[in-house]
Structure 1
């Protein structure tokens, strides 16, 4: 299976929600299932990176990491799990630069 990576650095194909609950941000255009818990129509990171800045991923942004990574933690995870996810995302984005 080909690896799918979202603009925020999440490896979609390694996510526990892929593919049953979520097909990955490239396919769903940032309209993540978890928005039902946090509100909004599209993920703020996806909106900024893809829709506004027209970048392929956040690793190309000089503002990385920005507040968007901290404004909406995954409500289904503990603070420790969210911190670990953030570290993995930053590592992934560095490899993509």
Structure 2
């Protein structure tokens, strides 16, 4: 299976929600399933990176890691899980830079 990586550094194909619950941000265009818990329409990170700045991923952004990573934790996960995810995302984005 080809590895799919979201603009925020999540390896979609390694995510527990892939592919049954979420097909990955490149496919769903930032409309993550967990937005139903926050009332959002599109992930703020995806919106900023892909739609506004037209970057391939956040590793190309001078503001990495910006407030969006902390303002939009996955509400289906604990704080510890979100912190571990953040560390994995930053490591992935540094590799992609």
Alignment partners' CA distance in 2, 1:39 and 1:92: 28
Partner of 1:34: 34
* 2:10 match: 10
TM-score (norm 2): 0.98
Which secondary structure does the structure 2 equivalent of 1:89 belong to?
helix
Within a 5 Å distance, the mapping from 1:56-67 to structure 2 comes to: 56-67=56-67
Partner of 2:54: 54
Q: Which residue of 2 aligns with 1:23?
A: 23
* Structure 1 runs not aligned, ≥5 long: none
**Bigger mean CA deviation after superposition, 37-46 or 47-56:** 37-46
Deviations 1:9-62 (A, max 9, x none): 000000000000000000000000000001111000000000000000000001
Alignment correspondent of 2:70: 70
C-alpha separation in 2, matches of 1:9 and 1:39: 23
Structure 2: runs of 5+ lacking an equivalent: none
- What TM-score comes out, normalization by structure 1 length? 0.98
